[in-house]
Structure 1
Amino acid sequence: MRAVEIKEAGPPERLTLTTRPVPVPRAGEVLIKVAAAGVNRPDVLQRQGKYPPPPGASDLPGLEVAGTVVQLGEGAAPWRVGDPVCALLTGGGYAEYVAVPAVQCLPIPAGLTWVEAASLPETFFTVWHNVFERGQLRPGESFLVQGGTSGIGVTAIQMVKAFGHRVFATAGSDEKCAACVRLGADRAINYRTEDFVQAVHQETGGRGVDVILDMVGGDYIPRELKALADDGRLVLIAFLGGAKATVNFAEVMLRRLTITGSTLRARPVEVKAAIAQALQQKVWPLIEAGKIKPVIHATFPLEQAAQAHALMESGAHIGKIVLTVEP
């Protein structure tokens, strides 16, 4: 099969089209003939040598795909050969075929294309787990996502709004802020011209927001604590601005704040299976009802993965970037 590998850590040009053996599904796995594969920030970090795959995972980048089940390992029910699915991976998505645990697959929501379906798993698993499970967002509470036009951002805005919450988002231009509002944000904050802490307090009567989903880290962390309401929760999922911060823990204690976070890639299959079940029951119906829609910025053929990574690194995209795999 054709696949895109990382020859060595470095710029996008280090992504190279190669030939690899077709994987053989193990017990509990299915083999998917890939039609489309999502491109995500962790893929870029892996290519840069900053995010190695966990032990036992494919060295090929790619954390989500959509395609057709073509082979079953032992015990891979309920899937059957010919089923269209999308799936969360630990790696290997930039290829014509990939083997994945059956429990990490989901049916493709009615009406979606291969490209749209491939854009779902990585961000939907991440947002559901971190906002609703770790962040414990409850009815009537408010929410802020940093980077509202990223793949995570466009998913978080729509998903949280679909559940009836007040949503705030930050973005780096007026154009991107307008896109956040179109997706459902009640207020979008241009972080280049506004202080998100001040803006949040103005919008909430000085109370702050209940849950913040952050991909920046660094000096954002102490500012985010000030933007939280009492008993608020800060959930960290990436550190684009650095992994270290100076925090006044007296504020955490006095205001009963929670700082938490997670990475999904290396978590056990059982954890991902539980998230998949929750998504199918609670979120997939919202997609099929048109209340949450995939946001696709651009597509590239598999052999142009380097161009896809260059676009992601530029920050010019709004929503997801997806690779297409020709039959």
Structure 2
Amino acid sequence: MDYERQPYRRCGRSGLLLPAVSLGLWHNFGGGKPLDSQRTILHKALDLGITHFDIADRYGPPLGAAESTFGRIFPRSLRDEVVVTTKGSNPMWDGPYGMGNSRKHLLATLDRSLERLGLDFVDIFYLHRDDPGTPLEEQMATLDHMVRTGRVLYVGVSNFSPERTAQAARLLRELGTPLLVHQPSYSLLNRGIEDSLLGVLEEQGVGCVVYSPLAQGLLTDRYLDGIPADSRAAEGRFLTADRVTPEVLTFVRSLSALAEARGQTVAQLSLAWALRDPRITSVLVGASSPEQLEANVAAVDNLGFTHEELAAIERAAKESGVAA
């Protein structure tokens, strides 16, 4: 494992360090994928200094497949050198207890996740989303219980509003189990967290690990000439063709010119841009090949931006009509 390949950033006001670029197992670790290719990607991640692996109970398909795959291919000798996360809240089985953030569901889904992962504990357990039907006090008390029973080291939330995040942080602090991290969506095409969430996280001392920093592939070289036949947008997998608008393509082409001047790809520039804010702990990337993962991690080779470069990005966003 190359610990010099990329920087590690402190997660909020905790003692935990995470790599600037982490590996998410959302898309490429489900069933139907060759196990050897998934193992090769995982080993490449370790070689690149990626010590943080983000999973969820629902990632697949089928449900739970990403956890099961990780459990099969992860080298147990490295358990103390990596951070393994998972999430609950999602519909996972039939009946009234198969989803949501009740204590009943969350403790059951955590136990099922640990069994699939083949682990005694996970480093971070997230509530994948808020559950308005369950009192926030119950949700946070359940996270606290997970930590106190040794099945979880740290806790986080994902897709919570700024207001509910602040309330969650306060409740957990009173229980003695600090809120470690929030996981929102964030990219050059989705900048909503800048309005208030990042300020809440900074005030509360909570880290921020962002997903979809490449907007499901839009912020890459893939769509510069339109929609490829074998792309996610063409297949409607997590990205629909109606999102590939003329405005977005104009913006991405502008980014391409800026990236080339920096010696980067559009993806590398987009990842570096997300990491420009010190409140962002890490960006999650997926990978369908070791080469793609290596190219994304190379974003850390040029994380600095001049005022002129940032102004050019803002101007391109405004002129193309995608400014937040």
TM-score by length of 1: 0.28
Which one has the bigger strand percentage?
1
Which one has the bigger helix percentage?
2
